[in-house]
Every structure is written in structure tokens, then in C-alpha cells.
Amino acid sequence: MEQLINEIKELARQKDAVILAHYYVDGSIQDIADYVGDSFYLAKVAKEVPNKTIVFCGVTFMGESACILNPDKTILIPDVSAVCPMALMVYEGEIEKVREEYDDLAVVCYINSMAATKSLVDVCVTSSNALKIVSKLPQKNIYFIPDKNLGSWIAEQLPEKNFIFGHGYCHVHDVIKPEDVEAYKAKYPGVKVLVHPECPVEVSKMADYVGSTSGIIDFATKSSDKEFIVCTESGVEHELKKRNPDKEFHFIDKHVCQNMRGITLEDVAECLRNGAPQAHVEEEVRVSAEKSLDRMLELGSN
């Protein structure tokens, strides 16, 4: 393992590559990454780093977004089978149909979506900036795709807007039910509940804190509490424990995003050795999708 890690570091140096990793990838990969974070942070980092090559350890839409934002960089994807199923839950013609039905409409797309979808929408959002961005949009009608759970959570807080939801969801978070949270609250009385907004809205409503992976980690780190119930993918436990060795985290059933967790150190080394596989987006799609991502970076950052 040490030999493989040294090889990755040496290859990255030779190829002027930076390694980005999401909190849901295996801890061994988070440990060798130059930057680890939530999807908004990683999109910003991808745009800012000076390196010629980015190795994106996450699901493929994340690498694709890095490619959209950085047409002159090489974006390496260690495992092309690490697809986010929710990103595929937007069907052809749906956006056009809703645009025809509603005036004064903004089409808002969760970053967990394919480049082709991003090219058709007005703005992208992530779980950490969706509320901020949607609240800044002048339109009354918001078509929020694909995640109906995140969309519903944002809608709860913006009653002045009229939301139309897509029908996508994350199978890892959607299975967490209010009964599960009740059971954990009964087992750990008085313990705060931290929820990712991809969970069903009934679960988010039971939370003491709702936020992105980074948000959950920051909340637990800053809190003086010593124990938490956590409703998200269990990969975040790695960073939670690293920053809070004295605290306890009760993950509801240790849910795993198999797609992200399947990425291995060997995959990282192999893509650096071969300079492949690479993310690729057709230029026409890329240019339109870039506008939605740039708008997110602009509205989400200030």
C-alpha cells in the first residue's frame, strides 16, 4: 500500500496533477487527496487550481463538471463506472415541456446531473448553496430537478415561490425514513440529528441541522456536543472522526454510495499511469452547461 501511495504521489508530481476527493470515497483515497470536500467546494477548487491535470475521485458527473469549467485541463476519472444514478433521472423533453407551461420560470438543476441537463437549465446548485441561490432568483416559479427531496426541503423554506419538482432521488438517502430517526432518537435520547437534504423531507424536518457533507462535518466539529445521529452516506465518518476523535457518531444503518466507494487507490494510480480515462463533454454542450455552473459559482459564493 505504501509503495502504491508513493507511486501515486510521484506520478501526480510528474504530471502536474492534483487529486480531488469527495467525502463519500474510501478513507484511503481521502487520505492521499490534495483537496477533500463537498461538491460545491470541489467545483470551486477545480476552477481555481493551477495544475494541468485534475484527478477527480468522485462520481462521474463531478469529473464532468470539472471538465465543463476547465476546458483546457485534463480531467482524469479513476473509475468510469462510478455513476450517480440520480444524475440520470432527467428525461428528454421534460424541461422544454415545463418551460412551455409556466411563465416567469427558472429551471434549477442540482449539480448531481449530466452535462446535457446542465446545458438546458438556468442555474446549477449544490446542497450547500441551493437555498441561497434559489432565494436570489427573481422568478416566482422554480422547476427543481432532479432531486425531489432537496427541492422539497428548499421549498419548505421559500413559501413565497411556487415549486415544480423533478422525480429524481438518491437511493442511498431516500431509504432513510422518519421511523429510523425515531428509533435512533429513542436509543440515544437528547442527541442532535444531522441530516443531508437528499433524505426525504420528513427526515430533514426532524433534524437539528440540515446541510451538505461539509456542513454536517463543520456543525459537528464546532458543536460542544459529544454525540450525534447522522443521516447521510457513511463516508463522512472518516473526516468526522479525524477532526473529532473524542466524539461519537451514530450513522443510521451505515448507508454506502457503492458507486463512489468502489474507487480504489489502484484505480487512481492506473489513471495517472495511462492518462485515461478522461472526462469529455461535447463543446456545444459544454459552453451552455458552463453558463449554469458559472452562475452557481457567482450566486453561491457571495
262 touches ligand SF4 (CB under 6 A): no
85 touches ligand SF4 (CB under 6 A): yes
Question: Among ligand SF4, ligand 13P, none, what binds residue 152 when CB lies within 5 to 8 Å by partner kind?
Answer: none
Q: How near is the Cβ of 53 to ligand SF4 at its closest, in Å?
A: 23
Number of residues that bind ligand 13P (CB under 6 A): 11
Beta strands (DSSP E) in the chain are 17-22, 35-37, 53-57, 74-76, 105-110, 123-125, 141-145, 162-165, 192-195, 209-210, 227-231, 248-251
- 177 with 204: CB under 8 angstroms? no
- 299 with 132: CB under 8 angstroms? yes
128 touches ligand 13P (CB under 6 A): yes
Q: How far apart are CA 269 and CA 213, in angstroms?
A: 26
Q: How far apart are CA 175 and CA 165, in angstroms?
A: 19
Out of 212, 234, 259, 292, the residue judged to bind ligand 13P by CB under 6 A: 212
Q: How far apart are CA 81 and CA 262, in angstroms?
A: 9
115 touches ligand SF4 (CB under 6 A): no
| Chain centre distance of CA 114 | 13
Out of 106, 142, 260, 268, the residue judged to bind ligand SF4 by CB under 6 A: 260
Q: Closest CB to ligand 13P among 41 and 163?
A: 41
CA atoms within 13 A on the CB side of 72: 6
Residue 242: helix, strand or coil by DSSP? helix
Out of 112, 119, 234, 292, the residue judged to bind ligand 13P by CB under 6 A: 112
Q: How near is the Cβ of 294 to ligand SF4 at its closest, in Å?
A: 22
Q: How far apart are CA 195 and CA 204, in angstroms?
A: 6
70 touches ligand 13P (CB under 6 A): no
Cell 500500500, located at residue: 1
Closest CA to 196 of 65, 56, 24: 24
Q: Radius of gyration over alpha carbons of the chain, in Å?
A: 19
φ, ψ for residue 70, nearest 5 deg:
-135, 70
127 touches ligand 13P (CB under 6 A): yes
Q: Closest CB to ligand SF4 among 53 and 149?
A: 149
Question: Among ligand SF4, ligand 13P, none, what binds residue 38 when CB lies within 5 to 8 Å by partner kind?
Answer: ligand 13P
129-168 footprint of ligand SF4 as x/- string (CB under 6 A):
----------------------------------------
Q: Per the structure block, which three cell numbers stand in for 168?
A: 429524481
59 touches ligand SF4 (CB under 6 A): yes
Give kind and range of the element (H or E) at residue 3: helix 2-14
Q: Which stretch binds ligand SF4 (CB under 6 A): 66-74, 82-90, 148-156, 206-214?
A: 82-90
Q: Which of residues 180-219 bind ligand SF4 (CB under 6 A)?
A: 198
Out of 60, 126, 149, 152, the residue judged to bind ligand 13P by CB under 6 A: 126
Q: Closest CB to ligand SF4 among 36 and 59?
A: 59
Q: How far apart are CA 234 and CA 217, in angstroms?
A: 12
* Interface ranges with ligand SF4 (CB under 6 A): 24, 59, 84-86, 112, 170, 172, 198, 233, 257, 259-260
